[in-house]
Structure 1
């Protein structure tokens, strides 16, 4: 006769045996994105080449120099990453519009392209910690006397067609005239020539333009919320993400990132990499 307690113990032993048999047939960590066998980190080291997606039409982040070679702030960071990994660097020219597609189709191992982190993009790709921060500010002629948006009442401000800057200016409800231009360089030229009094744009881009044009200066305020830019990688590969975050920690702690920023933008980084909550 088998008592109820014996039945319970028997059922428990059978269940445990089943779990052990299943474990014996399953290689833990052998499947799934981010496992050691499938991580991009291991693939790059085995391949001996790091494929980096860079936007090479967005100076000073990325562009082609006079010899036709990639150059710029993002390019220098990619070179440093490849050097520390001990692999060759393959630079793949991409655009802002196809950054996510290049990651999802495995055309690149990582995107380093002034890539702003936000909730919508995080549905499709994973982001590292920030490596550069952008705000929005004004660039004006040094002789203009304009220090902030408060001084712009009755003046004309330049924005780029199709950008969010025009909407941002309108949302501020200030008494400014808005003049739209086809691209950022045309708007900068309008400021230089006195056709408009200021331009609202990404602070990193403006710092570079002020470096190229000594008669211009960038205001200190940041009227628009800051944007935190990171590397973009495929989702689910935590090993690769951890490695890239460690790389960013090291180049930030050593101040190398700050030196590269100063090299390309002519000023020290304006905003801290971590949000001030």
Structure 2
């Protein structure tokens, strides 16, 4: 009997040890899988940025591109649920030349950097103005458009100068844009009314919640042309900047390919064709040469 008890105890010990080993193995596998998922792509500068290389995108057959869904005529969803606009036209050509399908991911201005850093998108094509501050967090490709800031206001009270701003009024801005940064840095005494999307900013202007709206001049000019009763009293505010695609910091394979693509597209005057297909109905031909950048070359 004592011998049998010793045998039984040994069997139980072996079973328990095996069970613990199995549980430990399962946990290690899960941890390894999670680490593998988190490390998809290259981690740069000790950050937790996740991205897919050019080869990984090609292998997957799909590229994820962040665009606006409410900024007509640059990026918007039409009545049929299809993405349209200047950025969309460019994005579709990128997918065609890369040989992959394009998956459009709707973004808001404040989410553009986050979507790149977390791997939610491979490229941002959402009227992304190049700034030194942003270049510390993402990598910009060559530019494809010029832009400045502008101010639109109701005809009943056209704003032509910010230096004599009525302290009782508020300026409408969209969070995460260069307009917000510019106003905070240069006009800290002007109270800001901040919104997350272009649609809510437009509604605020139309409802009289703010005295004026400062944003990319392309946007406010388009708004005034499409909506009676509004005037762009300040067509150019601050410095002249550029719009460019952006990728995650350190994603050099994708960045290099986009730069080569922009140079190649410039040889066929692609961005002029893009303008004429998507923007000319809004702006006419007068703005084409001042807005379009071909081949990444600015004057």
TM-score (norm 2): 0.61
1:128 deviation in Å? 0.5
* Structure 2 equivalent of residue 103 of structure 1: 116
Give the Cα–Cα distance (whole angstroms) in 2 for the partners of residues 157 and 254 of structure 1: 47
Instruction: Indicate whether 1:170 and 2:163 are aligned.
Output: no
1:199 deviation in Å? 4.4
| SS across alignment from 1:249 | helix
1:233 deviation in Å? 0.8
Instruction: Indicate whether 1:203 and 2:217 are aligned.
Output: yes
Deviations 1:245-264 (A, max 9, x none): 12222334433323433523
Instruction: Indicate whether 1:242 and 2:259 are aligned.
Output: no
Give the Cα–Cα distance (whole angstroms) in 2 for the partners of residues 86 and 136 of structure 1: 36
Q: Is the 8 A contact 1:158 1:187 kept in 2?
A: no
Deviations 1:194-228 (A, max 9, x none): x95x6443211112213312554545752312232
- Report which stretch shifted further, 119-128 or 217-226: 217-226
Give the Cα–Cα distance (whole angstroms) in 1 for the partners of residues 251 and 184 of structure 2: 37
Deviations 1:80-118 (A, max 9, x none): 111122221111223323322322232322111112222
The count of residues paired between Structure 1 and Structure 2 equals: 233
* Structure 2 equivalent of residue 135 of structure 1: 148
Give matches, 1:253-272, under 5 Å: 253-262=267-276, 263-264=278-279, 266-267=282-283, 268-269=287-288, 270-271=290-291
Give matches, 1:184-223, under 5 Å: 184-186=201-203, 188-189=205-206, 199-213=213-227, 216-218=230-232, 221-223=235-237
* Structure 1 equivalent of residue 82 of structure 2: 69
TM-score (norm 1): 0.66
Please, which runs of 5 or more residues in structure 1 have no aligned partner?
Answer: 1-30
In structure 2, the CA distance between the partners of 1:226 and 1:45, relative to structure 1 (3 Å rule), is same
Give matches, 1:53-92, under 5 Å: 53-92=66-105
- Report which stretch shifted further, 78-87 or 63-72: 63-72
Instruction: Indicate whether 1:44 and 2:61 are aligned.
Output: no
